[in-house]
Every structure is written in C-alpha cells, then in structure tokens.
C-alpha cells in the first residue's frame, strides 16, 4: 500500500474519532463495527474505503446504506469477505452491543 493510501485510511479513522472498532482491513477496505449507534437495531458492519462507504447487515448480508462509488463488483467482494470472516464480525458485534445475532 502506498503512503497516499495509508494517509487516506488514516483520515477515515481520525474522522470517526474512536467511535468504531476496526475488525479487519483488506487492501483499502476497513471493516468496522461501531458501538452503540443511535437508531441502528439491525446487527451490521461498515466498510470504509477512500471513495465509498457502506453498511451491510450481519443477518442477511444486504446493503443497508451506501455512499460514494460503490460498484456491484465491490459490493459482492465485500459480502464474500464478510461471509468468510462472519465469526469475527459477529463476535465483535456481540461484544460491543451486548446482544446476540439470531
């Protein structure tokens, strides 16, 4: 990863300012679980990249919200990655939210 890409990722982390837990990083994608978000009842995770962000349900892997240049190819990659790392994402959700995923 280039220095420019690292700085972009650092910017994303600083903007969030400690209100997330990065669970995984895959290239330019940062997979996060955010604790105690207001109004978010569906277990989900966020992915931030330099040119898009997305929220994905941990229940059915559907896209809950997206901003930026999220292509279908990128979305499918993120869903595949999340399914492969489901146990880690679920564990962090349960730890931060104190309730289980059905």
- Give the pLDDT confidence score for residue 93 in this predicted structure: 84
The span from the first CA to the last CA of the chain, in angstroms, equals 37
pLDDT tens digits, 4-37:
555 555 444 433 445 667 777 778 888 888 876 6
Q: How many independent structural domains does the chain possess?
A: 1
Torsion sign (Cα): 10, 14, 20, 21: positive
Task: Quote the pTM value.
Answer: 0.75
Task: Identify whether 102 is part of a domain.
Answer: no
Exposed/middle/buried for 24, CB within 10 Å: 0-12, 13-18, 19+?
middle
Joined together, the tokens standing for residue 4 give 């420019």
pLDDT tens digits, 39-91:
557 899 999 999 999 999 999 999 999 999 999 999 999 999 999 989 988 88
Provide the b/e sequence for 31-40 (b: ≥16 CB within 10 Å): bbbbeeeeee
Task: Identify whether 92 is part of a domain.
Answer: yes
- Give the pLDDT confidence score for residue 11 in this predicted structure: 47
* Residue span of the structural domain in which 43 resides: 3-97
Torsion sign (Cα): 7, 30, 78, 63: negative
């Amino acid at each position: 990863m280039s220095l420019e890409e690292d700085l972009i990722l650092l910017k994303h982390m600083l903007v969030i300012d400690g209100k997330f837990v990065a669970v995984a990083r895959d290239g330019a994608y940062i997979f996060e679980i955010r604790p105690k978000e207001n109004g978010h009842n569906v277990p989900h995770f966020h992915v931030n990249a330099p040119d898009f962000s997305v929220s994905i349900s941990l229940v059915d892997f559907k896209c809950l919200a997206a901003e930026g240049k999220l292509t279908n190819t990128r979305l499918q990659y993120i869903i595949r990655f999340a399914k492969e790392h489901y146990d880690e994402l679920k564990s962090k959700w349960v730890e931060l939210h104190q309730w289980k995923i059905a």
